[in-house]
Chain A
Amino acid sequence: AQSVTQPDIHITVSEGASLELRCNYSYGATPYLFWYVQSPGQGLQLLLKYFSGDTLVQGIKGFEAEFKRSQSSFNLRKPSVHWSDAAEYFCAVGPQGGSEKLVFGKGTKLTVNP
């Protein structure tokens, strides 16, 4: 069965510092991988996605993620964090095997200190 692990529940960084959010997945084939961001009380916004090709994908708001098949990872990065990046970030995998569903991790809450 598909699963997604986001090992860090909460991360705090200073504004201007670099950021890396970790995501590990379990999946039976070549996955579709996604990162979403959620501001408090809001729905989720797609940051970026990977399904084939170049393993380094660029997204919106200056984010990028790298797919590493050997490590079953899809970590999200940003070189310089802005205060407006404070939010919760979710990694997701799927769909697979005729199912349309995405499986989400439990999320990582990002706090940005001034």
Chain B
Amino acid sequence: DTGVSQNPRHKITKRGQNVTFRCDPISEHNRLYWYRQTLGQGPEFLTYFQNEAQLEKSRLLSDRFSAERPKGSFSTLEIQRTEQGDSAMYLCASSPGQAWGYTFGSGTRLTVV
């Protein structure tokens, strides 16, 4: 399967803990995106990488959030000191270019208790 892979699929954590999610994009896609989706809403943009460079960040990405793509392949999204409001589906997507649209992974469902 050469789709976008996200791990873990589900994560339950206690408030105040740190969590890290991983995304493995389609190997030939140089663009990688993170989105967050809450119940009843469409996905909201968090950040974008082209190769290893993080070129765009949303204001939604507070200082508790950090994303990396160290070798231009997989990416990680870390949330420090989680809050209940961080509970959401975190979606990763990759693309070979602007006009192609995204290929999304199945997401990581985060529940903060």
A residues contacting B by CB (< 8 A) are 4, 32, 34, 36, 41-46, 49, 51, 90, 92, 95, 99-107
Q: Does B65 contact A (CB under 8 A)?
A: no
Which B4-31 residues sit within 8 Å CB-CB of chain A?
Answer: 4, 6, 31
Q: Which residues of B contact A (CB under 8 A)?
A: 4, 6, 31, 33, 40-45, 48, 50, 55-56, 58, 91, 93, 98-107, 109
A44 to B101, CA, bound (A): 11
Q: Is the CB of A49 within 8 A of B4?
A: no
Residues in chain B near residue A44, CB distance under 8 A: 43, 91, 93, 102, 104
- Pick the contact of B99: A32, A42, A92 (CB < 8 A): A32
A27 to B55, CA, bound (A): 22
What 11 new A-B contacts, CB under 8 Å, besides A44-B43, A49-B100, A106-B42? A4-B42, A36-B104, A42-B107, A44-B91, A46-B102, A100-B56, A100-B98, A101-B56, A101-B58, A103-B45, A104-B43
Name the A residues within 8 Å of B93 (CB-CB).
43-44
- Top 7 A-B pairs ranked by shortest CB distance? A104-B42, A43-B104, A101-B45, A44-B104, A46-B101, A100-B48, A43-B106
Q: A90-B42, A90-B43, A107-B42 known; A100 and B104 CB under 8 Å?
A: no
Contacts of A99 in B (CB 8 A): 56
A90–B105 Cα distance when bound, in Å, is 16
Q: Report which residue of A34, A36, A100 has the largest number of chain B beta carbons within 10 angstroms of its beta carbon.
A: A100
Bound-state Cα–Cα, A99 to B4, Å: 22
- A46 in contact with B107 (CB, 8 Å): no
User: With a CB–CB cut-off of 8 A, which chain A residues contact B106?
Assistant: 41-43
Q: Using A90-B42, A100-B33, A104-B44 as known contacts, say yes or no to A45 and B98 having CB atoms under 8 A apart.
A: no
List 5 interface pairs A-B (beta carbons < 8 Å), by A numbering.
Answer: A41-B107, A46-B103, A99-B56, A100-B48, A101-B56
* Distance (whole angstroms) from the CB of A52 to the closest CB of chain B: 9
